[in-house]
Amino acid sequence: MKIGIFDSGIGGITVLHEALKVMPHEEFIYYADSEHAPYGTKPKEEVKDYVEQVVQFLEEKQIDVLVIACNTATSIAVKELRERYDFPIIGMEPAVKYALEQEKEKRILVTATDLTLKEEKYQHLVNKHDALARVDSLALPKLVELAEQNTFEREEVMAYLQDVLAPFDFDLYGAIVLGCTHFPYFKRFIQEIVPEHVKVYDGNLGTIRHLKRVLTNKHLSFSEHGGSIAFYYAGEEDSHNTILNSYLKRLT
């Protein structure tokens, strides 16, 4: 089975990481649109054009299913893409519902890109599940930039996170939701800053489990042997997966 995965850049590798654990023998094609990253700070129509170009590229590779491993791209384009293409399309959304189910009393802080938080899809998600108005939102655009630049130096990352998280009284919060696939690279830094009782969630594993259910329901067979990854970075194939492997190592 040929599974296409794409993101504005290397954030979706955090989703691919989960997919490799759940379905290790499939054929994956990953497209990092790092030439146009970040999506989350750009105009909506411009991002739609980038997304369409990437999906056309993956369609030409004859994928059987597409995973939009990007909350921003999902929020602005998934509906139109599903109307246009015949293969199943799996999107991402912040794990708001799951966090609220796990934390029954305290507040939830959802972190994402500016564009994700502004979109109607996110607002609908919160309104649907947050009956007691316990969800707050925070854009963390610099984390996307740091990840794309392969910048994980503790001093720089911690200084940024301490600054943006300082206004929040985390005694009032029970969870932080990582609503951008770039953010899990920085999960350990966030956990160092917030109190131990504050849980940190992302939607990556849930997305891959949903992908497997969709494929099972469509009676698509899973491979029992082999497995491969073709990795495209800013339109060019990284034949040795050097960039991919450097980011995967950060997740192990």
Would you say 74 is a known binding-site residue? no
Partnered with residue 200 across adjacent β-strands are: 176
Choosing from 58, 161, 180, 208, which is the catalytic residue?
180
Distance CA 226, CA 124 (A): 41
Binding residue per annotation — 71? yes
Amino acid at 14: T
For residue 207, say whether it is annotated as part of any ligand binding site.
no
Pairing of strands 236-237, 228-233: antiparallel
> Does 72 show up as a binding residue in the annotation?
yes
What is the spatial distance between Cα 150 and Cα 129, in angstroms, rounded to a whole number? 35
181 annotated ligand binder = yes
Question: Over the range 125-164, which residues count as b (16 or more CB within 10 Å of their CB) and which as e?
Answer: bbeebbeeebbebbbbbbbbebbbeeeeeeeebeebbeeb
In order of 34, 121, 205, the CA distances from 128 in angstroms are 33, 11, 22
39 assigned to a ligand binding site = yes
Say whether 23 is catalytic. Answer: no
Query: Exposed, middle or buried, 106 (CB in 10 Å: 0-12/13-18/19+)?
Result: middle
Q: Does 180 qualify as catalytic in the annotation? A: yes
Instruction: Give the whole-angstrom CA distance, residue 73 versus residue 248.
Output: 22
- Neighbour-count burial of 174, counting CB atoms closer than 10 A to its CB (0-12 exposed, 13-18 middle, 19+ buried): buried
Given 69, 70, 76, 176, which residue is catalytic? 70
Determine how β-strand 65-68 pairs with β-strand 2-7.
parallel
Ligand-binding annotation for 7, yes or no, is yes
124 is in an annotated binding site: no
Q: Which residues line the annotated binding site?
A: 7-8, 39-40, 71-72, 181-182
Which residues belong to the active site?
70, 180
Q: Which residues line the annotated binding site for substrate?
A: 7-8, 39-40, 71-72, 181-182
